[in-house]
Structure formats: C-alpha cells, structure tokens
Amino acid sequence: MQKRTLGKSNLEVSALGLGCMGMSSAYGPAADKQEMIALIRTAVERGMTFFDTAEAYGPFVNEELVGEAIAPIRDQVVIATKFGFDIAPTGERRSALNSQPDHIKQVAEASLKRLKVEAIDLFYQHRVDPDVPIEDTAGAVKDLIQAGKVKHFGMSEAAAQTIRRAHAIQPVTAVQSEYSLWTRDPEAEVLPTLEELGIGFVPFSPLGAGFLTGKINEKTIFDASDFRNISPRFTPEARQANQAVVDLLGEIAAQKQATPAQIALAWLLAQKPWIVPIPGTTKRHRLEENIGATAIELSPDDLRAIERAASQITVQGARLPEAVLKMTGR
C-alpha cells in the first residue's frame, strides 16, 4: 500500500488506516476478541500500518485489544490513541471532559500499559476541554514527548483557532475530525489551517458510519446499543432523503468498476496528499474492499463531476446528537 506523511512531521503511515473503535463499542455488542486480533494482523499483512484507538472505546478494552494484536509486530505499526475524557478506573465516566495536565499524564501511563508499548506514536486530545487552556494541554503533551512517552501530538474535532494556539506550544502532527462526502464541515476553516501549518488530517467515519457503503436504507434495524439509533442523520426519514448521496457514489462506482464505499474513500484520498482516512470494520471482506480504494484513480474531471452533483444534494440531519455536537468545534 502507498504511504503518506502526516503534514510536515516525519510520521509516515499507510494511505489508509484502520479505525478500531467499532470492534469494542458504539455499533452494538463488541466483536469476538480473537477474530479482531486476527483482523488487525491481516490488515498489517495487507500493508496497513496505522491503527486508531482510545481509552474511551470500551472504555479501555479497545486499547487492550489493539495492544495484544500488535505485540508481535510493534515495529511495523503506528498506534494512535486519545485522552480527554474523565473516566474512572472502573470504566465509568465521572464527568464529560478532563484535559488537566496531571490527568493527561495519568492517562498516558495507563494507555502505555494497555497498549504494551514504550511510547505512544500519536496522542490525540479526544475533545477540547473548555475548562483547560489549550496551551496547558499542549504543554502537558510536550512534557510527555520530552520524556519519551509520546512521539506526536494530535487533536480531534478542534476549531481552527484552537489548533493554531496548541501548535504554537507543541507542533500538532495530525488533526482528526469527521469528514466525508456527506460531512464536509472541515473544508471551510480547518483544512486551510492545516495546509498552512503543515498538519496532517485523519478523517474518521469516512464512510458515514456505514451509510455511504450503500448497505443501509430506511428499513435497516440497528442493535439497541448502536449509537446510530440516536443520531439525527439516521432517522428513517433522513436515511431516505440522504440516499441521494449513495446514489451519486453508486453512479461513479459503476463507471470505475468499484463499490460506493471505495469511491467515498478514493474521493477523500484525492482531496490532499496529507489526508489519511481511517475506516473501521469488523469484517475481513470489508477490510479488503476498503484497501481496494487506494488503487482507484479519480481524475480532475471525475472530481469536478462529483462536486457538481454533490452540490445539488442537501444532507438531512445533524451528524451527531446535539449533546455530543456541543463538544466539537471548540
């Protein structure tokens, strides 16, 4: 698989990474641990080197899963994890956010143990904490980098001005936010800021939480614990309205002898050379399908055609419940 460098950093990763959250949480019951370990190792065999987790996924169990999976192949992979929530050792969230410097350092120590690594390759602030100056957060990560416990600093769902302030204290290697053909918010301010500062971009949910694969319609029933049950964009009415996006992907896919998911990923890869999407999956055939997207070339004419068609579509429904959205774009 091709490699990409995240911004001006020296952090080189596969052009496509693997989001591991869904293996343990958010999309229904956790998948079988041994099967997921095998899936991660298969991804490495297929050229993937970039794996995304967080203490909040589970909580804790996703980091443990990734740590066990990569133990024999640690030197071949880049591991990203996250801090920023206030999670008790028992796994209960005590309050929404906590980016106090002392807490960040405690989280780093715990994540190092769960991941079975000597240093965290990329340590993201999961969400900006409005109660802690971003300079203090960046300074805490800078301390961890100087101590050799973290290699690179990242931010997730942060606003452009906050990224600038953090970057001035400790260079930010990558920013992670939701970005896809149906969630284009980062284009207005975040992407130009990242280009200016030389920061990489890691789109999560690049397949629209599965919707852009074309395998979900208004009649699809989700598991009771699946977050899509409370997402405004996944009401049956919104799904029916948003089918237009999938239809567009399907038209391009037919021309390219590809799948809608592959076109959605290829579109992201074509936006900038420093963009590295991290689609998640628990299925080997989906992993293979996603990897296939890296071989699809979208010409400037293709991209213009997609842009023209997409501009005629109004996506229905907020991408996240209001309470969760409030923690983004700070």
Range of the domain at 12: 3-325
Structure tokens at 108: 């780093």
In this prediction, residue 95 carries a pLDDT of 67
With helix as H, strand as E and coil as C, how does the chain read?
A: CCEEECCCCCCEEECCCEECHHHCCCECCCCCHHHHHHHHHHHHHCCCCEEECCCCCCCCHHHHHHHHHHHHHHHHCEEEEEECEEECCCCCEEEEECCCHHHHHHHHHHHHHHHCCCCEEEEEECCCCCCCCHHHHHHHHHHHHHCCCEEEEEEECCCHHHHHHHHHHCCEEEEEEECECCECHHHCCHHHHHHHHCCEEEEECCCHHHHHHCCCCCCCCCCCCEHHHHCHHHCHHHHHHHHHHHHHHHHHHHHHCCCHHHHHHHHHHHHCCCECCCCECCCHHHHHHHHHHHHCCCCHHHHHHHHHHHCCCCCCCCCCCHHHHCCCCC
The predicted-structure confidence for 206-242, as pLDDT tens digits, reads as follows 999 999 999 999 999 999 999 999 999 999 999 999 9
Name beta bridge partners: 122: 80, 152
Does 316 fall in a domain?
Answer: yes
CA gap 113, 272 in Å, rounded: 35
Q: Does 57 participate in catalysis according to the annotation? A: yes
How far is the CA of 140 from the CAs of 15, 43, 102, 151, 247, in angstroms? 29, 33, 8, 13, 46
Indicate the pTM of the whole model. 0.97
pLDDT at 91: 84
Residues in the chain, pLDDT under 70: 94-95
The tokens describing 189, both together, are 């301010």
Tokens of 248: 């567009």
330 domain-assigned: no
Chain segment 124-153, per-residue pLDDT in tens:
999 999 999 999 999 999 999 999 999 999
Read off the CATH number of the domain in which 163 is found: 3.20.20.100
Q: Is residue 70 part of a domain?
A: yes
- In single-letter form, the type of residue at position 180 comes to S
> Tokens standing for 271?
């936006």
- Distance in angstroms (rounded) separating the CA atoms of residues 306 and 186: 18
Confidence at residue 301, expressed as pLDDT on a 0 to 100 scale: 94
What is the per-residue pLDDT for 296? 97
CB 268 within 8 A of CB 203: yes
State the greatest distance between any 2 C-alpha atoms of the chain, in Å, as a whole number. 54
Q: How many independent structural domains does the chain possess?
A: 1
Q: Select from 297, 112, 253 the least CA-distant residue to 245.
A: 253
Position 62 in a domain:
yes
Beta strands 78-83 and 120-125: pairing type? parallel
- How big is the chain by its Cα radius of gyration, in Å? 19
**Is 270 a domain residue?**
yes
